[in-house]
Amino acid sequence: MNTIATITWLTFHEARRRRMVLAALGLGGVFLLLYAIGLALIDRNLKEHPPSAMQLRFGYNLLLMAGLYVIHFLTIMLAIFASVDTISGEIGSHTIQAIVTKPVRRWQVVLGKWLGYAAMMMLYLGLLGGGIMLIVYLLVGYVPPNPLAGLLLLILEALVLLSLSLLGGTRLSTLTNGVVLFMLYGLAFIGAWVEQIGALLQSHAAVNVGIVTSLLMPVEALWRRAAYLMQPQILSSFPSPFSGTSPRAGAGDALLPPARPVGRVPRRPAAALAERSNAGRFKRSTVRSCRSARRLRCAARRILRTGWRRMARRRRRSG
C-alpha cells in the first residue's frame, strides 16, 4: 500500500506540474467568468420581459446544462491528453525500466498512476462543475434536480476514459492510443444522436445502433444519463446534447408520429359484415359480367360462322 500511495502522489504532482493541466484550469476559469457574465445579462433581459415561472425554470435549466456540457467536453479532452502518454511515453523513453527493476509489481505501477490521475480529474471536475452550479445558484437562485448524482456520473465518465487511456498505453504507442480514443468518442457521440433520433422516429434499428455504440464506449451514455437526472421530465423529450439518450415513454408521446398497424387490425362486427356483403356483391357482379362477355363472344362466333357459310354457298352457286 505504501508503494501504491507513493506512485499515486508522484503521479499527481507530475500531472500538476504539466503546463497542459494548468492551461486547462486557466481556460476553465475563463469559461466560468464568461459564463457568469452571460448568465447575468440573460437574466437581466428575462426580468425586463418576465415569462411564466415554468418557462423561466426551463430556461435556467437549459443554460445550466449548456455550461455543464462544456465542462463535460473539457474533462474529456483533459482525460485523454493528460494520460495518453503516461505509460506508452515511459515505455518509449525507457523510463519504465528504472521503475520495474525495483521490487514493485506492474499492477502497482498502473494502479498508482490511475489513482493519481483520477484524483486530478475529480478535483478538476469538482471545481468546474461545482463552480457552474454555484454561479447559477448565486445569480438566479436555481438548483437542478439530483446535482450530486449528475456530478458523480460525470466523474465516472472521466474515470472510464482514463482507464481506457491507460489500457491502450500498455499496448499501443502514444499517437495510436490518442487516435483510437478520439475515434471511439466520436463513434459514441454519433451513436447517441442516432439512438435519440431513432427513438423519435420509432426506428428500432437506429435505437439498437445507439445501444451498441454506448456499450462499446459508454462515455456519451453516462453524460446523457447525468443530463437526464438533472433535467425536468419534459425537457428530456427533445433531441439535444443536453437531454437523455432516448425520450421517455409518456413524456414525448405527443411528439411521436402515430404507429402504423402491423398485421390485420380487428374490426367491429358491423363493419366486418358490411365488408363481406360488399365483397359478395362485387363477386356476383364480376361473375355476371364474365357471363355476359362469354355470351357476346359466342354470338360473335355464330355470326362469323353464318357469314362464312353464306359466302361459301354463293361461291358454289356461281361456280
Q: Is the pLDDT of residue 292 over 80?
A: no
3-state DSSP assignment of residue 313: helix
Express each pLDDT in 139-150 by its tens digit.
988 888 888 998
3-state DSSP assignment of residue 247: coil
Express each pLDDT in 197-233 by its tens digit.
887 788 888 888 888 888 888 888 888 888 888 887 7
Residue 61's CB: how many other CB atoms inside 10 A?
Answer: 20
Question: Where does the pLDDT of residue 242 fall: very low under 50, low under 70, confident under 90, or very high at 90 and above?
Answer: low
Its pTM stands at 0.68
Please choose, from the candidates 181, 185, 79, the residue with its C-alpha nearest in 3D space to the C-alpha of residue 125. Answer: 79
Express each pLDDT in 176-198 by its tens digit.
888 888 898 888 888 888 887 88
The whole-number average pLDDT for the span 128-154 is 90
The whole-number average pLDDT for the span 93-118 is 78
Q: Is the pLDDT of residue 132 over 50?
A: yes
Are 226 and 244 spatial neighbours (Cβ–Cβ below 8 Å)? no
The residue with greater pLDDT, 298 or 147, is 147
Amino acid at site 294: R
Q: What is the mean pLDDT of the chain?
A: 77
The residue with greater pLDDT, 301 or 145, is 145
Residue 95's contacts (CB-CB under 8 Å, 6 or more residues apart) are 89
The span from the CA of 43 to the CA of 54, in Å, is 15
The whole-number average pLDDT for the span 2-28 is 79
Question: Where does the pLDDT of residue 7 fall: very low under 50, low under 70, confident under 90, or very high at 90 and above?
Answer: confident
